[in-house]
Structure 1
Amino acid sequence: MDSFSDGWLITALIILILGSAFFSSSETGMVAINRYRLRHLARQGHRAAVRVESLLRRTDRLLSVILIGNNFVNNFAATVAAILAIRWLGDSGAAVAPVVITLVMLVFAEITPKTYAALKPERIAFPASVVLKPLQVLLAPLVWFVNGISMVFLKLAGAQTRNSDDDHLSPEELRTVVNEAGGLIPEKHQKMLLNILDLESVTVEDIMIPRNEMVGVDIDDDMDEIMSTLRASQHTRLPVYRSDPNNMLGLLHLRKLSRLLLKEDINKAELMQHTVEPYFVPEGTSLNRQLINFQNARRRIGIVVDEYGDVLGLVTLEDILEEIVGEFTTDLAATSQDIHPQEDGSHVIDGATHLREINRSLDWDLPTGGPRTLNGLILEYLQDIPDANISIRVGDYLIEILQVKDNMVKAAKVRHASNEPEAP
């Protein structure tokens, strides 16, 4: 009779250990499951995903059910193990049972199932939800009672007891997700996604064509000179101003002038009839905001102005799009008119070239937190207008000033320190 009852007790102990393993793995699987993949599967009608998502809406109730079940089977298993130990070993079994059952529970009911659940959360969470869902309903009164007591102590400790919606990713967290996507996202698409995230931190001044490089039409010039500018222009839209860009009159779309340009007796009044009101952009506007503004205003070009209304430069929709998809060329260093590669691995760069363009073209990492151009970076470093043939080092980059004109660095030779020729 005793051997028969021992067999039942051993069977019960094995079932309880398996039950503990189930609750332990369920807890880890539910917590470790990818919420975004789960939401995607649920929207596609995956039944198990819908069930798990429903359970996770109230994580406190789900964890309470799991912990109640886990504690019940653990305590019951400890009791059964103690009975068996006393039967087999006598009074000394009471001291041996806790050690043995602890080791067994750690290996078979805690570490092993939880590790597997962390590695394969869907394989555990989906089937476990079939049991946990009705169990949540069955234990609802007990869960409510236990959670009520827990909430009282949490409030006394000053903890926030309301469910917070923390499933939303911050931009930096989303950047990490994209970076860790690996082969799931093509490298080019990955870079585009990261560029989109960067639009918030980049302003129109970072990509605009500066005022001194703007190509426009001064309506006070002779008509022959104006026509020469229009016919030689490589741009489809040109700003029109009177005497000074600060006196901006509008923007001229050359495609609308295609027939008019064939006439020889065209006059300024006809040009002004085809000029649309200028669209002004305040300095400091982020690129993502400006992209929306261009869309809402149905414009493709804007005049960047400072707080005093003075013109700083010109920004286009194409400039913003290039920040996302990259330049519309295959070899930026080879095609850029401002960056000239040299045989020794260095590059001769125009001082007015934007640092972001240099970094993008050459895959460098020149600092972009302060000045926006190479000239500005050099002047900030030296705190003075330099002479030619001066060399400086900014971070990992060696800069040799080649030409200075009109109080600005016109050209400099730049090389990465890793490309510095070795001394003989």
Structure 2
Amino acid sequence: MDLLQHLFLIFILILVSSFFSISEIALAGARKLKLKLISEGGDNRADKIMHLQENSADFFATSQIGLNAVAILGGSVGEGALRPYFAQFIGQFYQGQWTESIAFFTSFAVVTLIFILYADLIPKRIAMINPEKVALAVINPMLVVIKVVKPLVWIINGIANATFRLFKISTVREESITFDDVSAIMDAGAEAGVVLQQEQHFIENVFELEERTVPSSMTVREDVVYFTLGESEESMRQKIAEFPYSKFLVCNETIDQVIGYVDTKDILVRLLNNQSFVQLNESTIRNVLIIPDTLTLSELLDKFRASKEKFAVVINEYAWVVGVITLSDIMMTVMGDWGSPIEEEQQIIRRDENSWLIDGSTPIDDVKHALDVVEFEDWDHYETLAGFIMYRLRKIPRPADFVVHENLKFEVVDIDHYKIDQVLVTRLPENVEEVADRDWM
């Protein structure tokens, strides 16, 4: 066999090896989400790829058989074909006992370099650029090769499976998609400009509905405006004028004796019909949805949907009212505060690059996002920033008490009847050692 025939054979071996290399990366790296979209478009090759990924043992065995067999054959053919020519060339400059050895290593290095570049590196990089497109092109030929070498694959897989069982290694592939996976996809989409930053924020907030509990978004007990059965009409007029809410809780004497609620639309209808301003009776008081404070926002959405209600009273394990929540509160959790002029001041105010003034009742998830905090320790023990500080201090705080977390100093600056009203958050310099939580005696 002359040189041209050897070179042609090496070229064929490189093509075969590159096919296995490009197939290995493309078929293993093809993303299931994109494959499902391609399958829905009518291309059944995507279904074959997903089935191959779910049963990948035969594919990987076939791939390794092909790669190793071609590599061994290519090294043998290439070294044998090129060594005489390298020996002849080296002989022009050096004559000695090392001539054959130098020719052998030179031919081996050249053949190895060619196979690394054109049979391994370049094909794999091509496959990484667009794995789905490449996988669609190679799936049918690969299935044919798998059938051809099936007996040998069966033997190799049998030995491999016995090894896995011996060392108790699980071979089940985890296919579940977590929130972190979706969040990573959204981050990548936002960086690529496919997803707007606001859309990314909305989607992340929707996923958080499964984790955030009702108290994180409700109006707390101290801020609930309610009517009592014996309340005067003048007092109710004043509350409606001062607090532009669409619904008001109705209680017997105290807030813990809930009867129902009234809708301001009903009051408007009575005014349009020239009737009395309001009468708190069975015809005007509506039944209110009572929910426990342990529900997540996602569970509350299901209850709103089932009951056709948009307003609920939140109670704790002692049947005390801890707050009220509406469908709008949940929507604001997803979409953020639109900041209309009649609404309350922002709960998080950025003073400068390294300090914030935050309301103590701010949900801890909002604080986490605003300050870019990785995680609050034992977050399931509290819902608000005030709860976090009290949990860390293990006491009712006073002004100037502070805690330090993730190089951030949370200092209490205002207390209103034992309630943490305002917290000053300051980012500490990087070179400052973290100080312990402190309360002033």
Same fold (TM over 0.5): yes
SS in 2 for 1:194: helix
Aligned to 1:116: 126
Once the two structures are overlaid, the 10-residue window that deviates more, 196-205 or 116-125, is 116-125
- In the TM superposition, residue 28 of structure 1 has moved relative to its aligned partner by 1.3
Q: Is the 8 A contact 1:219 1:241 kept in 2?
A: yes
Aligned to 2:248: 238
Percent identity of paired positions between Structure 1 and Structure 2: 20
SS in 2 for 1:217: strand
- In the TM superposition, residue 211 of structure 1 has moved relative to its aligned partner by 0.9
The structure-2 alpha-carbon separation of the partners of 1:397 and 1:272, relative to structure 1 and needing over 3 Å to count, comes to: farther
Aligned to 1:260: 270
- In the TM superposition, residue 51 of structure 1 has moved relative to its aligned partner by 4.2
TM-score between both structures, scaled by the size of structure 1 = 0.81
Residue 41 of structure 2 corresponds to residue 30 of structure 1: no
The structure-2 alpha-carbon separation of the partners of 1:328 and 1:143, relative to structure 1 and needing over 3 Å to count, comes to: same
Aligned to 2:223: 213
- In the TM superposition, residue 117 of structure 1 has moved relative to its aligned partner by 2.0
Alignment of 1:344-383 (within 5 A): 352=361, 354=363, 363-364=370-371, 369=379, 372-373=383-384, 376=387, 383=395
- In the TM superposition, residue 96 of structure 1 has moved relative to its aligned partner by 5.9
Q: Is the 8 A contact 1:338 1:353 kept in 2?
A: no
Residue 178 of structure 2 corresponds to residue 170 of structure 1: yes
Aligned to 1:294: 304
- In the TM superposition, residue 215 of structure 1 has moved relative to its aligned partner by 0.9
Q: Distance in 2 between matches of 1:319 and 1:381?
A: 28
Q: Is the 8 A contact 2:364 2:384 kept in 1?
A: yes
Q: Distance in 1 between matches of 2:4 and 2:178?
A: 56
Once the two structures are overlaid, the 10-residue window that deviates more, 70-79 or 44-53, is 44-53
State the AA in 2 paired with 1:401. V
Aligned to 2:202: 192
What do residues 125-162 of structure 1 show as CA deviations (whole Å, max 9, x unaligned)? 2222232122223333332333223222222222234x
Aligned to 1:154: 164
State the AA in 2 paired with 1:240. V
Match of 2:413 among 383, 397, 401: 401
Residue 338 of structure 2 corresponds to residue 328 of structure 1: yes
Match of 2:398 among 375, 386, 391: 386
State the AA in 2 paired with 1:259. V
Q: Is the 8 A contact 1:16 1:77 kept in 2?
A: yes
The structure-2 alpha-carbon separation of the partners of 1:58 and 1:350, relative to structure 1 and needing over 3 Å to count, comes to: closer
Q: Which runs of 5+ in 2 are unaligned?
A: 89-99, 430-441
State the AA in 1 paired with 2:289. Y
Q: How many positions carry a matched residue from both structures?
A: 404
The structure-2 alpha-carbon separation of the partners of 1:105 and 1:255, relative to structure 1 and needing over 3 Å to count, comes to: same
Q: Distance in 1 between matches of 2:44 and 2:241?
A: 66
Q: Is the 8 A contact 1:21 1:108 kept in 2?
A: yes
- In the TM superposition, residue 175 of structure 1 has moved relative to its aligned partner by 1.6
Q: Distance in 2 between matches of 1:255 and 1:53?
A: 55
The structure-2 alpha-carbon separation of the partners of 1:87 and 1:287, relative to structure 1 and needing over 3 Å to count, comes to: same
Q: Is the 8 A contact 1:61 1:143 kept in 2?
A: yes
State the AA in 1 paired with 2:112. T
Q: Is the 8 A contact 2:233 2:277 kept in 1?
A: no
Alignment of 1:130-149 (within 5 A): 130-149=140-159
Q: Is the 8 A contact 2:261 2:285 kept in 1?
A: yes
State the AA in 2 paired with 1:115. R
Q: Distance in 1 between matches of 2:248 and 2:309?
A: 13
- In the TM superposition, residue 416 of structure 1 has moved relative to its aligned partner by 4.4
Aligned to 1:318: 328
Q: Which runs of 5+ in 1 are unaligned?
A: 420-424
Aligned to 1:422: none
Q: Is the 8 A contact 2:267 2:278 kept in 1?
A: no
What do residues 70-123 of structure 1 show as CA deviations (whole Å, max 9, x unaligned)? 233223223323442566559756666544433332232222322332233245
Q: Distance in 2 between matches of 1:65 and 1:239?
A: 70
SS in 2 for 1:313: strand
State the AA in 1 paired with 2:332. E
Aligned to 1:11: 8
Q: Is the 8 A contact 1:42 1:53 kept in 2?
A: no
The structure-2 alpha-carbon separation of the partners of 1:97 and 1:299, relative to structure 1 and needing over 3 Å to count, comes to: same
Q: Distance in 2 between matches of 1:344 and 1:87?
A: 75
SS in 1 for 2:244: coil
SS in 2 for 1:275: coil
Q: Distance in 2 between matches of 1:239 and 1:55?
A: 60
What do residues 1-20 of structure 1 show as CA deviations (whole Å, max 9, x unaligned)? x53xx432321122112211
- In the TM superposition, residue 380 of structure 1 has moved relative to its aligned partner by 5.5
Q: Distance in 2 between matches of 1:251 and 1:204?
A: 19
The structure-2 alpha-carbon separation of the partners of 1:73 and 1:259, relative to structure 1 and needing over 3 Å to count, comes to: same
Q: Distance in 1 between matches of 2:356 and 2:70?
A: 72
TM-score between both structures, scaled by the size of structure 2 = 0.78
SS in 2 for 1:158: coil
